[in-house]
Structure 1
Amino acid sequence: MPPHSSEFLLQLLQRFIKNSSQIKQIHAFVTTHTPQDSENYKLTLLYNTLIRAYLNINQPHKSLLVFTRMLSCQAHPNALTFPSLIKAASFSPSLSSLTLHSQAIKCGVLADSFVGTSLVKLYSQMDYLCNARLVFDEIPSPCIVACNAMIDGYVKNGDMDSAILLFENMLKRDVVSWTSIINGFVRNGCFGEAICLFKNMMGNVNLVRPTEATYVSVLSSCAGLVNEGGLYLGKQVHGYILRNEIVLSVFMGTALIDLYGKVGSLERAIRVFKSMVIKDVCTWNAMISSLASNSREKEALVMFDEMKEKGLRANEITFVAVLTACARAQLVELGLELFHSMLGKFEVVPIMEHYGCVVDLLGRAGLLSEAKEFMRSMPFEPDASVLGALLGACKIHGAVDLCHEVGRRLLELQPKHCGRYVVLSNIHAGLERWNHATDLRKAMVEAGIRKIPAYSLIEAS
C-alpha cells in the first residue's frame, strides 16, 4: 500500500485518532501532499475522519479548516461529512451555519435525517427558529432526535404552544421529549403544569425513567410552589430518588437544598448537603442562601469561609447570598468590605442585585442617607428591586419624605404594581396622612388595579 495513498493515511489516522500531535502531522502531510487516488470515496473518507478527529480533540475550528481544504482538492462531501462539521460549527455558529446549510443543499444530503437533525440543533442553539423549522419540515420522516431538537428550539425561544403541539403529535417519546416540555413549563413559571406533566410521565404505560435533568426541573417546580404544596411534592420526588438508590448529583442535590431552604426546612437541607459526595460552587451557594434566608446569617457567613478554604471560587450568586446574610444580621462593615472586595479580590463584577443588597444592608441599619448616596453612585439607574429595598427601609424607620420620593419613582417604573400603591398608602395611613392614603387608593381604582387577595397555607414539614 503506497504511503501517500488515502487508504494508508486513513489507517494511520484511525490508529492515532485521539493523539493531537499525530493528527496534526497527518493533516500537515495531507495539506502538502494531496493523495492521488482513483477512488474518490477513499479521499472523502480520509477527510471525514480528519474532521471528526479534530472535533474529538476539542479543536472544532480545525475541523472547519479541513473542510475548506476538502472542497479545494475536489473531494466530495457526503452525508457523513456534515454532522461532525455542524457540531464543530456550534462553537462559532454565526460564522458557519448558513455556509454549511448551503453546502448540504449543494451536495444533495439535506434529506438525510442525521444532517437535517444536526442543522435543526444548530439553528435552535442560535435562536434561528424559522430556519430550524424550515429544515425540520424538509426531513422526510423526522426521528425522535429531530423532534426533540425542534421541541428544544421552541422551548428556548418561548414558543410553548408549538412545542406542546409537536410533543403531542409524536408517535414515540423518550425522556428527553418529556424533560424538554417540563423544563419549558419551568422556564415560563408554569410550575403546576410541569408537575402535572411529570406525573403523567411517571404513570405512562411505556415507563420512562427520569434523568438528572428531569429531577432538577421537577424539584425547581416544587420550589416554585412553596406556598401551594411544593414541599409535599418535593419530598415525594426525594423519596423516589432514595428508594431507587439514585446517587445525588451536584445539580440534583443543589435543587433539593434550594427547595428545602425556601420552605424553611433547614435540617433537611443540611442533611442533603452533608450526604453529597461531590459539591460544586452552586451547592455551597444554595446552602449559604438557605441559611441566610432562615435567620441563620452567621452560620451562612461561616459556611462562606469554609467554601473559600475548600478552594472554591465565589461567583455572582455567592455574593448575593452573603450580602443578604450581612443585611439581615446588620453587619454593615463586613457587608461593605465584601462588596468592595468583589472585583479586586474575586474578579466578580457587581450587578444590580449586589447593589440592591448593599442598599438593603444600609437601609436596615437605619443609614438611609448613606443608602440614598450609595444608590446615586451606582454605574446604572436603579431598578425596582433596588428602589424597593430603600422603600422598605423607609417604612421601617419612618422616613416619610424619602419614602414619598422613592415611592413616586417606583410607581413610574411599575405603574401597574398593586403592592407599591398599598405599601405607600399604608405608610401614609400609619402617620394619619389620610388625604395621601386616600389619593393613592383612588389612583389604584382609576388605573384599574386590584389588590391581590391574601391567603394562608399551613404545610406540614
Structure 2
Amino acid sequence: MAVILPAPAKPLVVPERSILSNPRKLLLEQCKTLRELRQIHGHLIKSGLLFHLPFLAENLLESSALLLPNNLAYALKVFAQIPTPRTQSYNILIRAFILHHAPENALLLFGRMITSSVSPDKFTFSCALKACSRLKSLAHGREIHSLVLKSGFDSVDFVINSLIHMYATCGEVGTARALFDEMPVKGVVTWNAMFAGYFKAGDWMDVVSLFREMLETSAEFDQVTLISVLTACGRLGELSLGEWINHYIEENGLKSNLNLVTCLVDMYAKCERIDKARSLFDEMPFKDVVAWSAMISGYTQLNQCKEALELFHRMQMTNVDPNEVTMVSVLSACAVLGALETGKWVHSYIRRKQMQLTVNLGTALMDFYAKCGCIENSVEVFEKMPVKNSWSWTVLIKGLASNGRGREALKFFSAMQETNEQPSDVTFVCVLSACSHAGLIKEGQLFFDSMSQEYGIQPRIEHYGCMVDILGRSGLLNEAYDFIRRMPIEPNAVIWRTLLSSCKIHKNVEFAEESLKELVKLDPEHSGDYILLSSIYASVGRWEDAVIVRNQMKEKGIKKTPGCSLIEMDGMIHEFFAEDSAHPLSKEIYEKIEEMVSKIKLAGYVPNVAEARLDAEEDEKEVSVSHHSEKLAIAFGLIKSQPGSVIRVSKNLRVCTDCHLATKLISKVYQRDIVVRDRNRFHHFRDGDCSCNDYW
C-alpha cells in the first residue's frame, strides 16, 4: 500500500532588503505561523543582523509574544538572546504577561527592569499599574506611583488614568478621586477610570453624582460610561435618570449595542418596571447569556418566579448556555416556588458542565434544597463547597431550623464558631429561630445574651421577635408579654403578631385581644391579624365574637389574603386556592378529596370546623375545611404522582390545625411522604407523624 506523504512546506524567502526597510511589516504580513517565525529568526541569527540591530530583535519579540497565539514560551527564549534589552523589549514582554493572565510575572519583570537600570517609559508604567490592578496589590502600586513621580510621568494622562484605575481597584477610591480632581483636563478615558473605581467599590450613589457632574460640565461621555451609570441607576432605583439615558440611546441610534440594551433591561427590572424591561428584551434581535440572565434575574427579584422559570425554559430552547448568574437566579426562583424538579435539573447541569461550586452558586443551591424540604441535599452541597463564608453557614443553619432539625442546626453553629467565620446578626436570627422551633427556651436565652456580650452584636427587632416566639410557642405567654413590655426598643407589628400567633396555638383570648389592639395602631390594614383573632374566638366556641371581627374587616374594607398552595408536576407549577374550581382536573381532584376524607376518618380524623369559613352554614363547615388549598394540592399530587413518591406542597399562609391533622393521617393511609412548606417552616409528614412534633 502506497503511503502519500505531505508535500514539504516551502521555505519562506526572506529578502534582506525587506528586513532592513520594514521588519515589522514583514513579520506582521508574512509570519502566520511559528514555523515561519523560526525561519526569519534563524536567518537573522545567521546574517548577524539580530545582534547589531536591536529593533529587529524587538520586532521579532513582538511577533512571538503578542501577534502569534500561544507562543509566549518562544518569546521568552527570544528575550533571553537579547544581550542588552531596551525599554521597548521589556514593554512587549510585560504587556504579553498581562494578556496571558500572568500579572505576577509582569511585576517580576518590571522589578528586573528597574534593577537592570533600564528606564521605564509611560507605557511601562501603565502596564505595570495594570498588573497591580489585576493582583489588587496596593503595596506594589504605591511603589510604582513613587517611581512615576521621580520619573516625571505624573503629568501624563495615560499614566494618571492607570493610577486612578489601580487605586480604585485596590479599594483606595478616595486616593483615586484625589488624583482625578487634580487633573486640569479630563478626557473620557479618565472619567471612565473613575466610574470603574466607584463601580468596583459598589459606590452607586457616587457613580450617579459623577455622571451628573459630567453633564453639568458638558464633558464627553461614551457607551462605556452609560453602562456604568445604568447599572448604578438599577441599584439605586434611579428611574428618571435611567429613562433619560434610554432616551439618549434611542436619539443617538445606540440600540445596536447589545451591552447597552442589556443594561437598560436590567435597570428597568430593578426599578420594578418589569413590563418595559421585557419589551426591550423581546425587541433584541440577538440575546446573549447576559441578556437572558438580566431578564430572569429581574423576574426573580420581583418575586415573579413563575415568569422567571418560564423564561428559563425558553432560554433552554435556544443555543445559549446559562452561566453562574443565570443559575443563581433560577435556583432562587425554584426555592420560592418549591420547584424541585427544575432545580434538580440545574444541579445536574452544574455537574455535567463541571461548573465551579463558588460561594454564590453553592449557597444558592443549598438554599434551594433547604426551601424544597430536601435538607440532606442541602447539607451535602455545603460539605462539597471548597470555600464557605458566613452566609453559607447561615443558610445551612436556617434550613435545618425551618425543616424541624433545630438541634442539628445548633451543632452546625458550634462548628461555625470553631472556624474563623464570624456569625452575623442574621446568623443569630437563624440560631434563635432554631431554638424556637425546637422549644429550647434556656438555650435561646443564652444565645440572645451572647450576641452582645461575646460578639458585640446589638439585638435588632428581629432578635427580640425570636425571643417572643420562643417564649410564646412554649406557652409562656405571660413571660412573652412581659418581655415585650421591657424591650428597650419600641415593639413593631411583627412583635405583636408573633405573640398573637402564639395565642392561637394556646387558645389564649386575653393576650390575643391585647395584641390586636396594638396591631390596629401599627398596621390597621393587615387582614391576617383579624383572621387570627377570629380563629381564636372560634376555637374556644365564641362564634359571635368571631363573626364580629370578620364584620369589622368588611366595614374597614380589609380583604382576607386567600390561601394559595403550589405543587410542581412534570416541571410545571400548579396553583390552587381554597374551594378552587379553575384547575382542568377539578372534578377528579374533588372526587379524590372525598375519597381521602372517607379514608382518614376511618383512621380517626375528626374535622375541625373551627377552621371553616365563618359564613359557611353549619352543614357546610365540614366541606369547607376539606377544600382548603393544601388539601386540593395534595389530592392532585396523589392523582398525578407515582405511588411511593414524595408529594411537595408550598403554601403562602400558615398551615391550619385541621390540615395539619389531616395531612398526618393522609401520609399514613396512603403511605406517602408529604412535605408542606408554609409561611413559617417545613412540615415533613411520614406514617402519621410530623417533623414539627405538633409544635409549630
Range of TM-score over shorter length = 0.7 to 0.9
Contact persistence 2:277–2:295 (CA under 8 A): yes
Q: 1:99 to 1:323 in 2, by over 3 A?
A: closer
Aligned to 2:321, the other structure's residue is in SS state: coil
Aligned to 1:355, the other structure's residue is in SS state: helix
Q: Are residue 115 (structure 1) and residue 225 (structure 2) matched?
A: yes
Q: 1:265 to 1:49 in 2, by over 3 A?
A: closer
Q: 1:265 to 1:28 in 2, by over 3 A?
A: same
Contact persistence 2:207–2:232 (CA under 8 A): no
Q: Which amino acid aligns with 1:455?
A: S
Give 1:98 shift: 4.2
Give 1:333 shift: 1.6
Give 1:88 shift: 2.6
| Equivalent residue for 1:300, pick from 371, 396, 409 | 409
Distance 2:212 2:502 in 1: 57
Indicate the residue corresponding to 1:85 in structure 2: 194
Contact persistence 2:469–2:502 (CA under 8 A): yes
Contact persistence 1:121–1:132 (CA under 8 A): no
1:236-281 CA-to-partner distances (Å, cap 9, x unmatched) read 2222222333232222222222222223222222222222222222
Distance 1:108 1:393 in 2: 62
Q: Which amino acid aligns with 1:222?
A: C
Distance 1:377 1:129 in 2: 43
| Equivalent residue for 2:266, pick from 152, 165, 177 | 152
Contact persistence 1:109–1:115 (CA under 8 A): no
Q: Are residue 60 (structure 1) and residue 181 (structure 2) matched?
A: no
Give 1:344 shift: 2.8
Q: Are residue 385 (structure 1) and residue 509 (structure 2) matched?
A: no
Indicate the residue corresponding to 1:262 in structure 2: 371
Q: 1:165 to 1:356 in 2, by over 3 A?
A: same
Q: Which amino acid aligns with 1:217?
A: S
Q: 1:347 to 1:178 in 2, by over 3 A?
A: farther
Q: Which amino acid aligns with 1:23?
A: I
Indicate the residue corresponding to 1:180 in structure 2: 294
Give 1:385 shift: 2.5
TM-score, normalised by the number of residues in structure 2:
0.58
Higher deviation after alignment, 234-243 or 450-459: 450-459
Give 1:451 shift: 6.0
Indicate the residue corresponding to 2:328 in structure 1: 216
Indicate the residue corresponding to 1:400 in structure 2: 509
Give 1:308 shift: 0.9
| Equivalent residue for 1:433, pick from 542, 546, 550 | 542
Contact persistence 1:364–1:393 (CA under 8 A): yes
Indicate the residue corresponding to 1:38 in structure 2: none
How many equivalent residue pairs?
A: 438
| Equivalent residue for 2:629, pick from 450, 455, 458 | 455
Aligned to 2:183, the other structure's residue is in SS state: helix
Give 1:105 shift: 7.1
Indicate the residue corresponding to 1:23 in structure 2: 144
Q: 1:183 to 1:433 in 2, by over 3 A?
A: same
What are the equivalent positions in structure 2 for 1:60-459 lying under 5 Å apart?
A: 60-71=173-184, 76-90=185-199, 91=201, 92=203, 94=205, 97-99=208-210, 101-103=212-214, 106=217, 109-110=220-221, 112-139=222-249, 140=252, 141-142=254-255, 143-204=257-318, 207-226=319-338, 230-448=339-557, 449-450=559-560, 452=562, 453=578, 454-456=628-630, 457-458=633-634
| Equivalent residue for 1:51, pick from 164, 177, 191 | 164
Give 1:138 shift: 2.6
Contact persistence 1:116–1:136 (CA under 8 A): no
Q: 1:122 to 1:245 in 2, by over 3 A?
A: closer
Contact persistence 2:362–2:382 (CA under 8 A): yes
Contact persistence 2:475–2:502 (CA under 8 A): yes
Distance 1:250 1:289 in 2: 17
Structure 1 spans left out of the alignment, 5+ residues: 2-6, 36-42
Contact persistence 2:528–2:560 (CA under 8 A): no
Higher deviation after alignment, 266-275 or 366-375: 266-275
Give 1:104 shift: 6.4
Distance 1:169 1:292 in 2: 45
Q: Which amino acid aligns with 1:172?
A: F
Q: Which amino acid aligns with 2:289?
A: V
Give 1:46 shift: 3.3
Give 1:12 shift: 4.9
Q: 1:65 to 1:418 in 2, by over 3 A?
A: closer
Structure 2 spans left out of the alignment, 5+ residues: 1-86, 88-118, 133-139, 563-577, 579-627, 638-644, 647-696
Distance 2:440 2:153 in 1: 70
What is the aligned-residue identity percentage?
32
Distance 1:27 1:178 in 2: 44
Distance 1:169 1:345 in 2: 56
Aligned to 1:81, the other structure's residue is in SS state: helix
Q: Which amino acid aligns with 2:241?
A: N
1:341-380 CA-to-partner distances (Å, cap 9, x unmatched) read 1123123232222111100111122221221121123343
Contact persistence 2:226–2:245 (CA under 8 A): yes
Q: 1:106 to 1:360 in 2, by over 3 A?
A: closer
Q: 1:116 to 1:225 in 2, by over 3 A?
A: closer
Q: Which amino acid aligns with 2:380?
A: R
1:124-163 CA-to-partner distances (Å, cap 9, x unmatched) read 4444332233234334314222222222222222222222
Contact persistence 1:419–1:451 (CA under 8 A): yes
Aligned to 2:188, the other structure's residue is in SS state: coil
Contact persistence 1:61–1:88 (CA under 8 A): no
Give 1:450 shift: 4.3
Contact persistence 1:51–1:84 (CA under 8 A): yes
Distance 2:561 2:216 in 1: 58
Q: 1:27 to 1:258 in 2, by over 3 A?
A: same
Contact persistence 2:436–2:466 (CA under 8 A): yes
Distance 1:310 1:251 in 2: 19
Q: Which amino acid aligns with 1:128?
A: E
Q: Which amino acid aligns with 1:354?
A: H
The structure with more strand, counted as a fraction of residues = 2
Q: 1:434 to 1:117 in 2, by over 3 A?
A: closer
Contact persistence 1:257–1:273 (CA under 8 A): yes
Indicate the residue corresponding to 2:597 in structure 1: none
